[in-house]
């Protein structure tokens, strides 16, 4: 379901690195306040079982919302890739070039303005029920797409080269899992949220450089049809 082990690992890692993008990491406190309807002071009282349960429940629902958006993207990418199966080699070459291009953007060698933007849902009221939080998760998933474009775009390109729609969905499921894990972890340890953010934001630039380097390598291997070398 998840394709080759190499591509599966790359999808999971890409999702994890996407969490550290400028449109996600610095705004984590705001996201948690919005989806839970609680203030940071209230969430700091995580010893209160009722507050902890609410934070975890809302976070899981939120994660499911944005995961659905990414998984549907994976299904669409694979479907389109299969339609053009005759041109699979050219799609692989073009895809490899695009991944290298996106990697150079993260490294700062190239600047692509639309990849540095994101559309955020704004509202004065937090969602008050689970379905509302689920819809918000879907909205943010769609809004994050331009901002986490280099990582997400690379996995979508890999999904388009999968043989079945199920494999493409599997890759994007792993991408979503990688992005979701930090959210879920923070929801269990919400009282450490602010400390985590303060210590991690300073490393965002370095994480971007690492992600960019990985994309360039991955793109070069895909371009030359030697992605299997990563398994060694």
Q: What is the pLDDT of residues 58-91, one digit of tens each?
A: 899 999 999 998 998 888 888 777 666 566 677 6
- Sequence-separated (6 or more) residues with CB below 8 Å from residue 107: 208, 209, 212, 213, 216
- pLDDT band, residue 7 (cuts 50/70/90): confident
What is the structure's pLDDT at 231? 46
What is the structure's pLDDT at 4? 57
Query: Does the reported pTM lie above 0.85?
Result: no
- Is residue 175 over pLDDT 90? yes
Where helices occur in 19-120 by DSSP H, the ranges are 28-36, 40-44, 49-83, 88-107
3-state secondary structure of 206: helix
Q: What is the pLDDT of residues 98-135, one digit of tens each?
A: 778 777 877 878 776 655 554 444 444 445 578 888 88
- Rg (C-alpha) for the chain, rounded Å, is 18
Q: Return the structure tokens found at 153.
A: 């775009």
Q: Return the structure tokens found at 62.
A: 């939120």
State how many domains the chain has.
1
DSSP state of 128: -
What's the average model confidence in pLDDT over 153-173? 86
List C-alpha distances in Å: 219 to 70, 159, 230: 21, 14, 12
Q: Which domain holds residue 28?
A: 5-231
229: alpha, beta or left, given left = phi > 0 and alpha = psi -120 to 50?
Answer: alpha
What is the structure's pLDDT at 121? 44
């Amino acid at each position: 379901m998840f394709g080759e082990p190499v591509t599966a690992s790359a999808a999971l890692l890409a999702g994890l690195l996407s969490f550290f993008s400028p449109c996600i990491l610095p705004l984590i406190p705001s996201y948690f306040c919005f989806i839970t309807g609680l203030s940071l002071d209230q969430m700091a009282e995580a010893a209160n079982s009722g507050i902890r349960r609410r934070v975890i429940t809302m976070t899981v629902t939120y994660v499911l919302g944005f995961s659905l958006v990414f998984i549907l993207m994976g299904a669409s990418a694979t479907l389109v890739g299969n339609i053009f199966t005759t041109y699979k080699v050219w799609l692989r070459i073009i895809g490899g070039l695009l991944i290298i291009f996106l990697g150079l953007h993260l490294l700062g060698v190239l600047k692509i303005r639309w990849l540095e933007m994101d559309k955020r849902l704004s509202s004065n009221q937090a969602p008050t029920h689970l379905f509302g939080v689920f819809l918000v998760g879907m909205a943010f998933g769609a809004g994050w797409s331009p901002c986490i474009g280099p990582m997400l775009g690379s996995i979508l390109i890999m999904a388009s080269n999968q043989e079945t729609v199920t494999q493409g969905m599997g890759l994007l499921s792993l991408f979503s899992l990688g992005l979701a894990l930090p959210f879920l972890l923070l929801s269990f340890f919400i009282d450490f949220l602010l400390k985590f953010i303060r210590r991690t934001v300073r490393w965002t630039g370095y994480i971007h450089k690492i992600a960019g380097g990985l994309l360039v390598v991955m793109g070069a291997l895909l371009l030359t049809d030697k992605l299997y070398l990563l398994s060694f």
